[in-house]
Amino acid sequence: MNLCVLGAQWGDEGKGKIVDLLTPHFAIVARYQGGHNAGHTVYAGGTKVVLHLIPSGILHPGVTCIIGNGVVVDPHALFTELDQLAALGVAVDGRLLVSDKAHLILPYHRELDVLAEARRAERPIGTTSRGIGPAYEDKIARRGIRVGDLADPSSDGPLAHAVRENVAARNHLVGGTALQWEPVLNDLRGVWPRLQPLVADTSSYLYDAIAHGRAVMFEGAQGTLLDIDHGTYPFVTSSNATAGGAATGLGIGPRAIHAVLGVAKAYTTRVGGGPLPTELSGAIGERLRETGQEYGASTGRPRRCGWFDAVAVRYAVRVNGLDALAITKLDVLDGLEELPVAIGYRCGTALLEDMPGDTLQLARCEPVYETLPGWTQPTAGVTTYAQLPREARAYIKRLEELCGVPAAIISTGSDRTHTIVRDGSLVDRLGAVARA
Ligand code: IMP
């Protein structure tokens, strides 16, 4: 079974742990969008590892990892991660493939990202300043430089031509400074020898692998509400984090995706600008942030925290065709007396059950809460559903009802073992397939 695992909220749902946990059931893990704006925290032999670009599946010997055509690649960020893995003794040779069609993030993309944010003054998106947006802009404007283009480094070849055109476009956008194109070309020539052994036609590789029955996990970055089309535009990232992005971002047919698992926290967080209807500004928000250690894995920024928003997750169920949820960080709610869950939005006189398409309208919405009782007994580290306090089970059950899909996994701590896999669930069946 090929499974797509993606974020059902605003990113940072804890996908890293879930992907890491499920990897033993798969031969290949393939990342389909985003870039090194993502940050997946995993623990390898007791050491904390934060991976931004390389799928965390790389930590499992024998698993092949793919960086698909839908990803934007900063070669220097990639090399930093490879160095980090080498220092940990993780052998990557032959197990990491980068699509020849993936677009490159060039040094001045980062600069353009920062400048664009400065221009937004009053309404910043709060980007990660990694050059993600400008790299995708060049891709869509059809002047982007792809990994495979680096194969011909000649001064009169298509790469040199594209670099000249790109730098001219950048100089047009940024008044007062003129970037020279030669250093950019030289930098790209310099990265090719190390990048070249990783480069492959990953769409064709996946096609053959799937035809031979090798199981693939498609790994999304960011989250549904940060998707360029379906998120809270313009406060979004520049790629399709939703399930459809797996098909276009890897060059596979949609029927190659057999099931979709959405990862959602037991509450809500968001980093950066844009509406967050259930946001808590007071002591409880602070408590969620501290208990949940809600600080960006890539940028260290404090995350905005709020109650679980069933409207948002129900929306994620719809636009991704989710089969099940993995609910993470349940233990962060331990000891809270009451747990409000947003079941709808009040917007003026209208009562909405669905996510409005208009972000300005969403910003004016007030959540309508249903309040569930909290629990006093700790859930941290619990590994079976039956061991959860009654109120925690009732909380999960209500989230399942409100979102319309079952919770296949409940995570009760950062460790791999702090996990409940529900009997008979999608994930339980994966294990059965792998064991057979
Ligand atoms: P960009 O992807 O750097 O352009 O940032 C666009 C928006 O997406 C900002 O609000 C970021 O905070 C958010 N964002 C990007 N990557 C992540 C992530 O991995 N987790 C959570 N938010 C993210």
pLDDT of residue 44: 67
Q: Tell me if 268 CB under 6 Å of ligand 1.
A: no
Q: How far is the CA of 417 from the centre of ligand 1 (A)?
A: 29
Determine the 3-state secondary structure of 67 from DSSP: strand
Q: Tell me how far apart the alpha carbons of residues 198 and 222 are, in angstroms, rounded to a whole number.
A: 24
> Which one from 40, 52, 109, 418 is the annotated catalytic residue?
40
pTM across the whole model: 0.96
Average pLDDT over residues 69-84: 96
105-114, 207-216, 249-258: which has the minimum mean pLDDT? 105-114
pLDDT of residue 435: 56
pLDDT of residue 25: 95
Q: Tell me how far apart the alpha carbons of residues 77 and 79 are, in angstroms, rounded to a whole number.
A: 5
Checking if the pLDDT of 436 tops 80, the result is no
pLDDT of residue 314: 98
Instruction: Give residue 289's region: left, alpha or beta (phi > 0; psi -120 to 50).
Output: alpha
Closest atom of ligand 1 to 130 CA is 3
Q: Tell me if 272 CB under 6 Å of ligand 1.
A: yes
Q: How far is the CA of 378 from the centre of ligand 1 (A)?
A: 32
Helix or strand holding residue 78 (H, E): helix 75-87
Which residues contact residue 94 at a Cβ distance below 8 angstroms, ignoring those fewer than 6 apart? none
Q: How far is CA 257 from the centre of its chain?
A: 17
Active-site residue flag, 40: yes
- Report whether the peptide linkage leading into residue 75 is cis, meaning its omega lies within 30 degrees of zero: no
Q: How far is the CA of 87 from the centre of ligand 1 (A)?
A: 28
Active-site residue flag, 100: no
